[in-house]
Amino acid sequence: MRGVNKVILVGHLGKDPEVRHFENDGAVCNFTMATNRSYKTKAGEKVEETEWHNLVIWSRGLVGVAEKYLKKGDLLFVEGRLATRSWDDQSGVKKYTTEIIVETFKMLGGKNEGGGNYPPAPSAADAPKDAQKESTAVETDDVDDLPF
């Protein structure tokens, strides 16, 4: 059995994306994202927690979109995977970091108030013609069968 490494986040960018370009026409984009959660303690006090995440984009197309459109404070939906890497610092001590490698994102709002899928989500029109003919839609008015 294979494992699953999938991360889905919705949060606000903590800083403008930092993009580095390489000689081989490659690029990488790094930024942070804050996610929040709130809950009540047994005493009834509301507690607000913020978690910070380090995100990395390696896809050349996504790097360009991030560089052009993303700004600090923007609300973003991100899908990706976890990756942990290690290195030795200047004193020889091994350091570790866990990052989210972004595979796709959607701008939900913020300073830009934009919205869009990057890369765009596939539509039925993108499916092969044979698959379009065989596709059938099922409609139901009975929402009681929904699992949520």
Express each pLDDT in 53-110 by its tens digit. 999 999 888 999 999 999 999 999 999 999 999 999 999 999 999 999 999 999 997 5
Find, among 123, 108, 146, the residue nearest to 8 by Cα: 108
pLDDT at 13 over 90: yes
pLDDT at 24: 86
φ, ψ for residue 59, nearest 5 deg? -65, 125
Tokens at 50, concatenated: 């913020």
Helix (H, G, I), strand (E, B) or coil at 31: strand
pLDDT at 25: 83
Average pLDDT over residues 32-54: 94
Report DSSP state, residue 121: P
Judging by DSSP bridges, how do beta strands 46-57 and 94-109 pair with one another?
parallel
Mean of pLDDT over the chain? 80
| Confidence band of 122 (pLDDT split at 50, 70, 90) | very low
pTM, whole model, 2 decimals?
A: 0.68
CB-CB contact of 47 with 19 (8 Å): no
Distance CA 147, CA 145 (A): 6
Helix (H, G, I), strand (E, B) or coil at 26: coil
CATH 2.40.50.140, domain 7-140, yes or no = yes
